Amino acid sequence: MSQSKRPDDLAREAAGEPPQPIGTVATRIGTVKYWREEKGYGAIASDATAPWDIWCHFMHIAEMPGFRSLEPGQRVDVEYIRMDQESFRFIATRVRRLDAA
């Protein structure tokens, strides 16, 4: 019995691999798509990387020491690198909050 794929998965399959070479670095505005508080990571959506999301670990959130988190819907300035990590093709290296969710 097969499971149906989510629309995001279908969009990524249709798009193929991102055109940016591995190691490309950029900074863009994004929106937090989801945040797994218990795991300390989440995903950021950006028009610049669509249909791929940017993976983010709490250690890459700027402005405060210790454990940090983001809220879904929150706007952020995200610096990222083109790198493969599991199903992600972009990894955040620095995230700065632009507003409260």
Residues 100 and 70: their CA atoms lie apart, in Å, by: 9
Peptide bond between residue 21 and the one before it cis (omega within 30 degrees of 0):
no
Considering the domain delimited by 7-97, tell me its CATH architecture. Answer: Beta Barrel (2.40)
pLDDT one-digit tens code per residue, 36-62: 999 999 999 999 999 999 999 999 998
Q: DSSP letters of 13-28?
A: HHH-S-SSPTT-EEEE
Binned at pLDDT 50, 70 and 90, residue 100 comes out as: low
pLDDT value at residue 19 = 85
pLDDT one-digit tens code per residue, 83-99: 999 889 999 999 999 97
pTM for the whole structure: 0.85
Query: Is residue 34 within 8 Å of residue 42, measured between CB atoms?
Result: yes
Count of other CB atoms within 10 angstroms of residue 21: 7
